[in-house]
Each structure stands twice: as C-alpha cells, then as structure tokens.
Amino acid sequence: MTPKHNNNRTMIGVLAAGILAIIYMIYVMVAPQGGHIQGWTPRASSTLAEGTDWVFNFINYWNYLFFIGVVAAMGYFIYKYQRKSDSDRTEKVKDSIAFEMFWVIFPTLLVMVVFVLGARDYMGQRVTPKNVYEIQATAFQWGWTFTYPNGGTSDSLVVPANQPVRMVMTSNDVLHSFYIPDFRVKQDVIPNRFTYVWFNAPKPTLKYNRPNDSTLTVSSLDRKHILHCTEYCGTSHSGMDRNVQVMAYNDFETWLEELTKVDESAEGGKKVFESKCQSCHSADGTPGIGPTWKGLWGSNRSVSPGGAVPADENYIRESILNPGAKVANGFPNAMTNFTGLIKDGEIKAIIEYMKTLK
C-alpha cells in the first residue's frame, strides 16, 4: 500500500481552523458588550490593576507574536516541503551557530525583561503605603468576618473609596485565600499567622444587593465586586464568595456607625443566619452538615456527651461558642468555634429567629 501525501493541505486547513477558532474566541471576548469592552482581565477597579494588566498585555502581545510565528512556520514548512513520493531524499541542513545563538540569547533577554517588569510591580503591591486604613479579616469554614477599627464586624467587605486599605488576615481553621479579581489582589490566609494585602479602590460601587441581581449586566462597571476564597478549604469552598462594596467616604462613615448597632430582633437573627450559619444549617428542614434549625427551639436534643438536653438559651449559646461541648447525635463535630466571631447581641438575635422556625 502506498501512503498518500496529498493530505498536507487538509492539515494546513485544520491548523488554520484552529487559529481562526481561537481568534474568534478572543474576538468574542473583547467585543463590546453593552458599551463595555470585556477584555481578558475583568474590570480594573483598584490602583494596582493597571500595573498587573499592563504586564499581562505586554506578555500577551509577545505570546501572540511567538505563537503565530511558530504556527506560520509549521504551516509553511508542511506546505513547502511535503513528501512527493516514498523515495524522497533530503539534503543535509547545515547547523547555523548564529541562528542558534540568536534563539538562545533573544528569548533569554526577553524573559528577563518580563521578569523585571513583573517583579518591580509586585514589590509595589507588597509595600503598604502610609496612612492606610486597616481592616482585620478572619476566614473560617466557610465564611469571613471583617472587623473594622470601631469594633464593628460584617460578613461581607465594605471599604472606603480612594483610600489605601490594608487587610490583616488570619484563619480560624484551615488555609483560605483572599481574592478580589477586580482589584487583582490575592493572598493566602493561614491559621496561626497574619498575612496582609493592600489595595486602593478609587470608585464607589452601586448599592445593589447581589452580584447576580437581575438588573445587572456583565458590563455594568459599577456593580459590586466579588471576593472569592481561592485556596481549597472543603465542602463549601465555593460558598465563600462575598460582596465587596466600595463606598464614598461619607457613606462609609455612616455605614460604620450603623454597624456597631446590633439588631437583636428575629429579623436581625435571620441576617446573622444568612451570613454566618446557612452554609451548614438550614431553616427549612433540609439536612445539612449540621442539624436544621426548623423545629429545633425548645425540642429535646440528643447529644453526646450528655444524652438529652432541652434546646434552650444556654444550649444554643454553648453550641455557638463551644460547639464541641455537646455534639448533636448523627452529626460530625465539625462546627467552627465562633468565639470572637459573633457578638452577644447576635446570639440573642439568633435565638429570637429560632423561635420563629416552628
């Protein structure tokens, strides 16, 4: 059987189709959607984003050039030097030292330039400027507690606009990571150690409630930012997404004052539940990692050690501040110790809320 060699054109076609497909995808990505160009990177919402995006684009342009060069050479050679018959002989190609040296020295210089650009900008990200506003962050399975200088705490992040903010972060259990794509900042959060990042978000965001609010489109530039956990931390790893809201300074001051007031009603308890508890507990009877709260209040709890105890104020309080003391039978001893993560008023509010879940 004599193999056919006329399929080189098909191959060139497939290669060209591959490149066209990728160009099309890049086009779709950067094409304007609702007036906003959706580039490779998400919207740039902190002062650090500019430097990151500049290096990203610098590398990308060189990458396009190299990639197109390599594939064009492949296509050209396949076309030009295709085998005519099985008895083709090839002539010996002389090694060109000059060409080889060029291909060693030129890329080395280029990657060194890329290295310096990236490293210089990175140092800027790591050195915190003066007059920084500090927010403490505590990560746990699976949520965040942000503590502001006046002692107020929140579960989603609110920062003042146009002001360098430094996050001082630690974890209560396993590794987590603090990542806001729009700000281009990321830092792992480690138990028994403090790590930090700083950023400065110049523009306030709109006061929408959720990033998936139906009134929002992808292109809406001033919607809230999202905070992700980017170090795998267990079952609800992806459930650690939180909103990041940037407020003008006056709005932020007002918000901060409101924050220290705790709403001790059932209504307030529902909010605490939604922010701190619902990744493991449900309010409607569906089984979770922990027991559901529906019908929990006032019932007799089968726990170990201890046998049966009534679910009263003291039981609830103890279960939050020292969850290992009485573990509900049928559930793992997996709950985070909330000491320092929850205020007394919030516990009262949770109890009020539980009373409503018959």
Partner 1 sequence: MSVTMIEPGQTMPAIEHHYLNAEKGIKSWLTTVDHKRIGIMYLISVVLFFAVGGLLAVFVRLELLTPGRTIMDAAMYNRVFSAHGIVMVFLFIIPSIPASLGNFLLPIMIGAKDVAFPRLNLASFYIYWAGGILGIIGMLSGAVDTGWTFYAPYSTTTTTVVWMTLAVFVAGFSSILTGLNFVVTIHKMRAPGMTWTRLPLFLWGIYATAIIQVLATPVIGITMLLLMMEKLIGIGIFDPKLGGDPVLYQHFFWFYSHPAVYIMILPAMGVISELMATFSRQKIFGYKAIALSSMAIALVSFLVWGHHMFVAGQSEVAAIIFSAITYLVGVPTGIKVISWVGTMYKGSISLRAPMIYAQMFLFLFTIGGLTGIMLGSLNVDVHLHDTYYVVAHFHYVMMGGTVIAFLGGLHYWWPKMTGKMYNESLAKWAAGLIFIGFNVTFFTQFILGSQGMPRRYYDYVPEYASLHAFSTYGSWILGLGLLVAFICFIHSLIKGEQVGADPWGGTTLEWLTTSPPDAHNFKRVPLVTRNPYDYDAAYDDLLGDGMGDGASRTPVVSPSRS
Footprint (CB under 8 A) of partner 1, residues 253-312:
none
76-115: contacts with partner 1 (CB under 8 A): 77-78, 81-84, 86-93, 95, 100, 103-104, 107-108, 111-112, 114-115
Are 303 and 290 in contact, with CB atoms under 8 Å apart?
no
Contact flag: residue 235 with partner 1 (CB under 8 A): yes
Nearer to partner 1, 7 or 329 (CB): 7
State yes or no: residue 322 binds partner 1 (CB under 8 A).
no
User: Least distance (Å) from partner 1 to the CB of residue 131?
Assistant: 22
Q: At closest approach, how far in Å is the CB of 126 from partner 1?
A: 5
CA distance 315 to 147: 27
- Within residues 121-180, the interface with partner 1 by CB under 8 A covers 121-123, 125-126, 173-175, 177, 179
Task: Tell me the longest C-alpha to C-alpha distance in the chain.
Answer: 92
Measured between alpha carbons, how far is 144 from 180 in angstroms, rounded to an integer?
14
Cβ-based neighbours of 280, under 8 Å, separated by 6 or more: 142, 236, 288, 289, 290, 334, 335
Whole-number Å distance between alpha carbons of 194 and 192: 7
120 vs 203, beta carbon nearer partner 1: 120
The single residue among 228, 271, 317, 343 that binds partner 1, judged by CB under 8 A, is 228
Tokens of 169: 């972060």
Which DSSP category does 183 fall into? G
Q: Which of 16, 20, 37, 73 binds partner 1 (CB under 8 A)?
A: 73
- Per-residue x/- mask for partner 1, residues 180 to 219, rule CB under 8 A? -xx-xxxxx-xxxx-x---------------xx-----x-
- Using DSSP's 3-state secondary structure scheme, residue 170 falls into strand
